[in-house]
A and B are shown apart, each in its own frame.
Chain A
Amino acid sequence: MAHIQLKNISKTFGNHTALTGLDLDIADGEFFVLLGETGAGKTTTLRLIAGLEKPSEGQVFIDGVDVADWGAAERDVALVLQQYSLYPRYTVRENLEFPLKPKIRRLPDAEIKDRVDRAARTLRIEHLLDRKTDKLSGGEMQRVSIGRAIVRKPRVFLMDEPLSALDAKLREALRTELKNLQMQLGATFLFVTHDQIEAMSMGDKVGVLNHGRIVQTGTPHEIYNNPRDTYVASFVGSPPMNLIDGKLVNGRAVMAPLNFELPFSGAAKASAATDGRPLVFGIRPEDVYLESGAPVEARVHDVENHGVEKILTLRVGDATLRATVPARTDVAIEQAVRFAWNPDKVVLFDKGSGVSLRHAS
């Protein structure tokens, strides 16, 4: 178990800059999720901590010790990858034993057997122990690869999109299992993913990474409800937050090109938002509601039925916005509806920088 700290890390590969000025603090026993799009630098961050890459600048600390001169073997971390992490010529048992047999920390045979059996029981792969890895399904392989990580009791678990290659059902099941496992072991996890649902459902803390920079770190609740900028707002959430250009005029939100108005209650909070300043209004689809007496008229552009709810795409002039409504709401495409929003939930972003006004002050 360990406390991981990255200080001012930069990493370049030739002309390509993967990470710039990255600071990260992962507390002991925390499930930290690094969320970002493909190419944002998530895997690079992980490899830097694992010792498979050296930072171009900055320092990595494990339990307060600068590990710049430590190789991957000495850092005592476990790595679970999306694929290719099992040794193809070995059986499941041999794969699980492998991390317990290096010269630098070879365990006695009885201990190895004990640990392998315990890991197999935890992950319910006891019946697979004597099978060759190429005879396993995707889900079984991923369990074995997690098993290879947990047999060792490493200081930190690093997981690089371990669930991405699996089908949806299995992914959900393993998500829960991983979270349970982490709580059971009380271990520090750094979990990398591009899937915001995984990040939201598993993380104690989430770090959003964009173009090699940490944009925001916080609990899933903070990230979701109080995104630091329009990037986070549009990346997290499914469907993402609606972002509409506009300005504040006399305490009312006036959408600039479209000229519709909505009530706004947060004017006091956003004192910096003087009248007439160009802004972006952010509102989650679930905070947009249909009501016969509501102030704005729109046409229903599209209806997605998700069982418990419907996601409507509304069209106002040239702009569209999403609204999540209960499934029983009866709407047809091209029907005219009236909508409003929950004025307490509106997040204001500066039009120029995209930064939330709540974070800017």
Chain B
Amino acid sequence: MAAVRTSSEIGLNRVAIVAVLVVTIIFLAPIYWIASTAFKPRNLATTIPPTVVFQPEISPFVKLFTKRSQMRSPPTPEEYAAAPWWERVVFDGGEKIVRDGKGQVQWSGYPSRFLNSLIIAITSTVLAVGMGTFTAYGFSRFKVKGEADLLFFILSTRMLPPVVVAIPMFLMYRAVGLNDSHIGLIILYTAFNLSFSVWLMKGFMDEIPKEYEEAALVDGYTRMEAFFKIVLPEAATGIAATAVFCFITAWNEYAFALIMTNRRAQTAPPFIPSQVGSGLPDWTVIAAGTFLFLLPVAIFTFLLRNHLLRGMSFGAIRK
């Protein structure tokens, strides 16, 4: 039987669609701005009003990855003809790519910063979620003395703005030689995310009936086997949701990365704005850097979207 809908319901539905569209546009506008700027020629990046129709260019990305210098005179036709396509793009902007004595292209700081971001965010996410899952399981399944107090203590690490401890942390890190190191930032981000991970995972663990594991225990499995075979697959949704939150936090973190690192372990967030300072900023390069920086989170979230949807509504739907 076809559902009968009144005209007012249809009207309401249209209003809802319009509202969703408006919100979507508001959220997508900055992303469009970044993405379009990343493909614009430099002279069109800062026009008022903004240029909407343009010939997309790859030059911002080439510039993003290489070290360049201003040329006093344009390249000779021979030089231009001998250069690969990616170098010609730079020549067109009146710059040339810096090479070392052996003619090797000099990379910009960006690729290593990006790699640092990946290493630090992924490692700290794995650590925070892994430790959080085990801790939450313990709190959820066993009688822990002073459970409420311990959980509150874990949460209390979130109660002051992290920047408050930045200076003492910096001094401590310098004293033990952890500043500007990957390990340093990984420890820091793991510590940030751990309280969050424990609390979130505790919620998910409490949702899993303990009868499942008990059945496995009676069936001849050890507590550890029951955890890996029964609990972990059930908790996958929660783990995915927690991992996305932790990853985003670690990936986007700016303040501590700025204070604790300067070269070796610097992540992308403090690096990208640092490029603004040198002379006349090339906004297309900054936009290209930002655009690439957005991709991992987008991909990660997209891959886990099914889990996330279930994770967001956990507790709301009863079996």
Please give the residue numbers on chain A whose beta carbons come within 8 Å of chain B beta carbons, in ascending order.
Answer: 50-52, 71-73, 75-79, 81, 83-85, 87-89, 98-99, 102-105, 148, 152
Contacts and interface: CB of A to CB of B under 8 A. Distances in A.
Contacts of A71: 217, 222
Contacts of B234: 88-89
Given A79-B214, A102-B225, A87 B230 contact: yes
Contacts of B296: none
A73 B217 contact: yes
B233 to A, nearest CB: 5
B216 interface: yes
Given A87-B230, A88-B234, A89-B233, A72 B212 contact: no
B16 to A, nearest CB: 31
Contacts of A89: 233-234
Nearest to B230: A87
Chain B: number of interface residues, binned into ranges: 10 to 19
Most chain A beta carbons < 10 A, residue from B212, B214, B215, B233: B215
Interface in B220-235: 220-222, 225, 230, 233-234
Contacts of A51: 217-218
B131 to A, nearest CB: 24
B232 to A, nearest CB: 11
Interface of B: 209, 211-212, 214-222, 225, 230, 233-234
A84 B220 contact: no
A50 B218 contact: yes
Most buried by A among B211, B220, B222, B230: B220
Contact of A73 (B211, B221, B233): B221
A104 B220 contact: yes
A72 B233 contact: no
Nearest to B220: A102
Contacts of B220: 73, 76, 99, 102, 104-105
Given A81-B215, A85-B215, A102 B221 contact: yes
B214 A73 contact: no
Nearest to B211: A84
B217 A84 contact: no
Contacts of B209: 84
Nearest to A73: B220
Given A88-B234, A89-B234, A99 B211 contact: no
Contacts, number: 56
Contact of B218 (A52, A84, A87): A52
B218 A78 contact: yes
B19 to A, nearest CB: 35
Given A87-B230, A89-B234, A81 B219 contact: no
A73 B222 CA distance: 7
A262 B219 CA distance: 58
Contact of B212 (A73, A87, A102): A87
A270 to B, nearest CB: 47
B310 to A, nearest CB: 13
Interchain residue pairs A-B with the least CB separation, the first 10: A102-B220, A99-B219, A84-B211, A72-B217, A84-B209, A79-B218, A73-B220, A102-B221, A85-B215, A72-B218
> Which of B218, B221, B230, B233 has the most chain A CB atoms closer than 10 A to its own CB?
B218
A81 B143 CA distance: 23
Contacts of A52: 214, 217-218
Nearest to A106: B220
Contacts of A75: 218
Given A84-B209, A88-B234, A89-B233, A77 B216 contact: no
Contacts of B218: 50-52, 72-73, 75, 77-79
B137 to A, nearest CB: 17
B234 to A, nearest CB: 7
Contacts of B216: 87, 98
A78 B215 CA distance: 8
A51 B215 CA distance: 11
Contacts of A81: 211, 215
B233 A85 contact: no
B175 to A, nearest CB: 46
Contacts of B230: 87
A92 B157 CA distance: 45
A262 B268 CA distance: 96
B219 A152 contact: yes
A202 to B, nearest CB: 22
A102 B230 CA distance: 13
B219 A102 contact: yes
Contacts of A104: 220
A102 B225 CA distance: 9
Between A83, A88, A148, the greatest number of chain B beta carbons within 10 A of the residue's beta carbon is seen for: A88
A72 B225 contact: no
Most chain B CB atoms below 10 A, which of A72, A89, A102:
A72
A15 to B, nearest CB: 14
Contacts of B222: 71, 73
